[in-house]
Amino acid sequence: AQSVTQLDSQVPVFEEAPVELRCNYSSSVSVYLFWYVQYPNQGLQLLLKYLSGSTLVKGINGFEAEFNKSQTSFHLRKPSVHISDTAEYFCAVKLTGRRALTFGSGTRLQVQP
Amino acid sequence: GAGVSQSPSNKVTEKGKDVELRCDPISGHTALYWYRQSLGQGLEFLIYFQGNSAPDKSGLPSDRFSAERTGGSVSTLTIQRTQQEDSAVYLCASSSVSNTEAFFGQGTRLTVV
């Protein structure tokens, strides 16, 4: 079975500070990895994805994530956050050959002025 | 359409009533997914459609839940005899044949009173 753990339910940070949102997964087979963002009262929007190749993935809005196979992690980072980054962030995995995504419980990023 | 469309956006129903939630996927997307997002929790997979068939129904929580898809397009999620624990946001997503990214609708917020 696969599972996704987002270690922090909430991350408060000041504007222009760096941030890291942590994600670990458990799977004995190859996976695809995703980060989605959900702004208030909206659906999910894809930030970035890792399918194969370079382990450092760059996404939209200045976010990036690094796939670490040995640590089974896919942490999301941004060097300088803005107020507008305040949202819920979800990490998700998909087994190769399986259709559905398995999501973590989410991390609420709260950017303060 | 330009994106995944869900209706209604909000639904309040009395306990014991049946409800139908509709999803209109992105044109040409053959895969369609239903997820449930309960307060303070991550996204829970419900069912996956490929075309009009549902090869993975493993996430449906009880036999009160059912879904169908017609014409390889619109899908309806039906919840019979609603209970208060069914209150959640129901999200629909669709993806293309390559299936590496799912596009989400804005969800239907269901409140059972």
Is B45–A36 a contact, with Cβ atoms under 8 angstroms apart? no
The larger pLDDT score, comparing residue B76 to residue A70, is at B76
Average pLDDT over residues B74-79: 98
The stretches in chain A having pLDDT less than 70 are 1-2, 96-97
Average pLDDT over residues B98-102: 77
Contact criterion met (CB below 8 Å) for B25 and B94: yes
Chosen from B104, B108, B109 to mutate, greatest number of chain A CBs within 10 A: B104
- CB contacts, 8 Å: B100 with chain A: 32, 49, 51
pLDDT at B42: 79
For residue B99, is pLDDT > 70? no
- CB contacts, 8 Å: A45 with chain B: 104
Angle at alpha carbon of residue A56, lines to A52 and A60, rounded to 5°: 100
pLDDT at B1: 52
Does the beta carbon of B31 lie under 8 angstroms from any beta carbon of chain A? yes
In this structure, is the dihedral angle defined by the CA atoms of residues B101, A37, B74 and B85, taken in order, positive or negative?
positive
Average pLDDT over residues B42-66: 93
